[in-house]
Each structure stands twice: as C-alpha cells, then as structure tokens.
Structure 1
C-alpha cells in the first residue's frame, strides 16, 4: 500500500523512539489488461532472484490461535464476463505517479504511463485497486480518490468525499460477492485511531459513499487488501511488537481475521502493496528504505517466499482483477 507521506512520518517517529522501522491487483474488453496489450519486457532496474526460503508461522504469543491462510481455489467461480484469466495483469502505482503492469509468470514490468490526476500540488498516490472492467481506483495521500484507466493512464476525479467516517487514508481491494461476478471495493483504515482501525466498503457504482463494517479482530496495522473471484478478501499487514509481516484472510461481514500466516522475512518498509494471482501472493515492499521496490512471491501451497523482481521506484499501490487466475 502506502509508503505515503503520513505513513513515512509515522515510521520516522517509531524509528526515533524504538530504533526500528518495520514499516511501511481486472479484466474487460479493451482496458490494457490483456496479453496483446502487454510487452514482454522488464523495466530498467528489474532483476530476478529465484532463491526460496521458508515462511514460518508463529502464533505462540497470540491468545487465540488463528489457523494458517487457505488460498486453495474454489470451483464454480463465475467467469462469464472474463477473458482468458491467464492474460490478466497486476497493476502498480508509484510515488512518482507511474502506472506499471506486472506479469507474474515472468515477473516483468511494463510502464503504461504517468498519471496526471487533478490533485493538489505536493500530493502523491497512496493506494490502488482495480475492478473487473480495468478501471483503477487510486487514492492519494490527502484522501482524494481518482479513476484511472489501466490502458492509457488517463485520470479523472470521483465524487468521493475524503475523511468519510474517519477513514482519511486506507488500503484497498476488490473482492466478489460469493462466487461473482458482482464485486465490492473494500478498504482498510490506515489510521491508528481506535474508532477507525477497521474495514469498510465504498460504493464505486453509485455515490462513492463509505460504509464502515467493523474494527479488525484481532487488531492489525497498516493493512493493504486484495481479493479473489471466489469471494475471499486478504490483507497484508503488520502487528504491534511482531516480527516481519502477515497475510490474513478477513471475513468481509465481521472484519475478523479467520486465517493468518506470518512472514518473518518480509518487512513492509517505507512503501508496500499486495496482489493475489495464480494461487500466489505478490508483495511489493521497500524493506531498506531505498525508495525502490522488491517483489516477493509468497506461495501458500508450500509456505515459501522468493524474491522474483526489483523495480527502481517506490510502489505504493497494487490492483488485480477478480478475473485473475486462482491456480498457477
């Protein structure tokens, strides 16, 4: 999600106090989502590393043991409005307003363009989600929400009112209702205020109203979201006094974490994003604060992590269609 301005300030405060900073995924006809729109190239600064390490789960300090996430595919997903799932792409947005596509099978990036949203000077992208028609919702760090084409990078303002229900900035992800094809945009508050540390939804078809659902249970921090075509919603987050980061399955009605896996070797750093594709999770992080992103693949089927690419600019949002494949 966000490396974003106020999160960076928060990280700096934490670093000053404690000396550490563990900090900070669409298909449609012609929306730039398909293989024929995709150039099989890797952007400058990208590298690949096939090394694999275990990603153990540690829940010894949790009063209630949460089972590991279960990302096995569900049959009978409605894909009647989808093209070939394997042709869908992941999209990422950077603090430099650059929109890239990312193709998981070969871990390559392609620059689509630089977005030019009607945003106030000095504001930058904070988070992103992509719907089934290839429209991206991009949140800026001042709380304004914009619609962006994943084909051309064209940007327009929405009618979303910032700071609804105390949600000033947030992580975002679409998930289908049951097995689809209808979907909902879910958001996770980035604030640390007790009354807004939770899950909500935004009506992106109607008036862009934000509706709170519930606080996360147990509490989680700095969550980015990604969803699937079989109705599941996942978060990529940290926890207070915990090592590394976590991926958890979140109940969309109650905001309860119903499955969770700890990634001790993955730190979010100063900017992070998150997408599910082909049965795996792709984590975009900046663990060393270099304002560049590392791409780590987490594979639930064998509980492994592997660094698969690097990008020489800071990714703060990722979006993927719920049409994306759920098997390798």
Structure 2
C-alpha cells in the first residue's frame, strides 16, 4: 500500500530532489474564472454547488460528495501540469466553488470545478510550507468574507506544523502559530477552524485558535487509530466528515463524526477511491434543520 501523503519523501529518495518545479506560474490569483455562478436568490450569495463537499483522489479524479445521501458524483480528471510523480496532496474550496489544489511537489493550482480548467498560481514555498493541509474560514460568524488557513511544513513526518494564512490574491503566507502534529484543516461559516490529526496511536479532531494554533477543544478518536495512508477532512451540516485509508485498507472509508460530542455516527465505504483531499466552502450549512 502506498502512502500518498508522503509521496514527496519517497520521490526524494528516487530523484534526489523534491520541491516546486520551475515553470511559468501564471498570474497571482491563478485565473481560470469562477468555478460556479453565485445564486443570490437564496439570500447568501451562494450557489447550490458551493454547498457541497468536494474530494480529490490520488489519481487526479475530482468528485463531489453529498453528505445527505453519502454518495459521490465524479466530475472528471484534473490535468494540472504538476511535476514528475507529483499527485494531489490537499484541497480547499472557496465561495465561488473554485478548488485550490496543492500537489505533493509544492505547487498550488486554482481549478474551475465546472469545466476543470486548471491554472498554476504564483505560489512559491514560504515559511517552510512545501506541503500543507488547508481550509477556508469566515472572518466573522455568518459573514461572507473568508480566509484560507494552511498548516504544514516540509512533510507529514515532522512533529509540528506551521499555522498560517495564505492570501489567494497575492499568494503570500503570514504565520499565525505552531500546531502539534500534522492536521488536515477545514473551516466553517461560523468562523471556526478545525483540524483532523491522523495517527497510528489514535486520531483526534481539534478546534484551533486561528491566531495562535492552540487547541481550544479536542475530540479523541481511538477507533480511527492505524497507520494513515491517505486522509482528508471536511465540516458540513454540524458534523465532521473524515476520509481515511489506513494500513492494509484497499480504499477510503468515510466516517461521519458528531460535531457536538466527537462520537462516530456512521461509516461509508468508497470503493475504488484513495481520497487525499477534501474541500468545503464557507457557504456549506453549519446545521441541518
């Protein structure tokens, strides 16, 4: 079984180098247009598409996931001009339904989720952030302005991560603090930031202080212990959705985790999928009435 989250480490051994490739990165924002049309009729300026969960597979397959039906809909394969052996590493979705996809070589792309047009951004590694998890969080509860948070470093084998914000306008990173472990991030329209920390000894979900990286609340997940091979994370409808592949697993399993007490409410197999990135915009519902 192959650990896709540590592909860069293995590629280093094979190629004696692993890092951002040198190529034309395009403009600062990445271009490519908006991923979906805003639907202001709902009063929140969000389209129906922006309220779904999106996932990306290790083989570049982009899909959306409907938490209500627990089903996947494939949108197509990404054709981002990533480096040799590079695969998707993490992903986040903005309120215009654009996917921001980080590859294992450290390059960041903006993807239109309607036509899958992939445009390189001008991102270059800053603050040691070559690989990282990421998620958008609103600046105020119920607000429409949001910020992209990232947490990472040189690779998942390091014991701590740098928490930072990343401007999608000028591609600059600003440090916020340090996080113990290597989380995948998700944010909410309630201005919260959460991290999923996979571990062979026992996984956990934490609410993070967006100014320091300190843990504000922790849910221990001992039943999800096991050597992590591929993982992703999203918050939707007041619950957490963990996409995890461990040890000798042959595919990803989706775990629904209660947002109120951290208990696992259900699990769904994802045949044929090795999901390495999940994204949900701050348009997504924070509670299901």
Residue in 2 aligned with 1:4?
Answer: 5
The answer to which structure has the higher strand fraction is 2
| 1:211 has 2:174 as partner | yes
- Give the one of 261, 267, 273 matched to 2:232: 273
Q: Is the 8 A contact 2:135 2:150 kept in 1?
A: yes
How far off is 1:6 after superposition? 3.6
Residue in 2 aligned with 1:288?
Answer: 247
Structure-to-structure mapping, 1:1-328, within 5 angstroms: 3-6=4-7, 9=10, 31=36, 80-83=44-47, 88-161=51-124, 163-179=125-141, 180-190=143-153, 191=155, 197-205=161-169, 207-216=170-179, 219=180, 221-238=181-198, 243-267=201-225, 269-301=228-260, 303-305=262-264, 306-328=266-288
Tell me how far apart the structure 1 counterparts of residues 144 and 235 of structure 2 sit (CA, whole Å). Answer: 17
Residue in 1 aligned with 2:22?
Answer: none
CA 1:84–1:97 in structure 2 vs 1: closer, same or farther (change >3 Å)? closer
* Deviation per residue, 1:235-281 (Å, 9 max, x gap): 00146xx7320000001011111000001111462000000010111
Structure 2, unpaired ranges of 5+ = 12-32
How far off is 1:159 after superposition? 0.8
CA 1:201–1:289 in structure 2 vs 1: closer, same or farther (change >3 Å)? farther
| TM-score normalized by the length of structure 1 | 0.72
Higher relative contact order (CA 8 A, sep 6+): 1
How far off is 1:7 after superposition? 7.0
Tell me how far apart the structure 2 counterparts of residues 4 and 237 of structure 1 sit (CA, whole Å). Answer: 13
Tell me how far apart the structure 2 counterparts of residues 3 and 32 of structure 1 sit (CA, whole Å). Answer: 33
Q: Is the 8 A contact 1:228 1:322 kept in 2?
A: yes
Tell me how far apart the structure 2 counterparts of residues 119 and 177 of structure 1 sit (CA, whole Å). Answer: 32
Aligned length: 258
| TM-score normalized by the length of structure 2 | 0.81
